[in-house]
């Protein structure tokens, strides 16, 4: 199975934000793994491109109330 990695920069990412982001991103189809770097302020998502696309992740982050940089 082919896997792609999306790296999304999220403005002002804090540890308190991680549960909401895990919920928003982890429920999307095809997500294999989800990791965050507070230092770099990014979400790193490994996913199956046949099930989800980068736009899906960007929309989920915005819908959860965060800004993408």
* C-alpha span between 41 and 37 (Å, rounded): 6
Report pLDDT digits (tens) over 12-68.
Answer: 999 999 999 999 999 999 999 999 999 999 999 999 999 999 999 999 999 999 999
In this prediction, residue 3 has a pLDDT band, given cuts at 50, 70 and 90, of very high
Cα separation, 55 vs 61, in Å, equals 10
Residue ranges and CATH numbers for the domains of the chain are 4-63 (3.30.70.100)
Give the model's confidence band at 1: pLDDT under 50 very low, under 70 low, under 90 confident, else very high: confident
If one compares 1 and 54, the residue with the highest pLDDT of the two is: 54
């Amino acid at each position: 199975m082919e896997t792609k990695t999306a790296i999304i920069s999220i403005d002002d990412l804090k540890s308190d934000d991680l549960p909401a982001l895990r919920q928003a991103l982890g429920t999307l189809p095809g997500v294999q793994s989800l990791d965050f770097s507070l230092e770099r302020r990014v979400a790193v998502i490994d996913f199956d491109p046949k099930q989800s696309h980068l736009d899906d992740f960007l929309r989920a982050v915005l819908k959860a109330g965060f800004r993408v940089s």
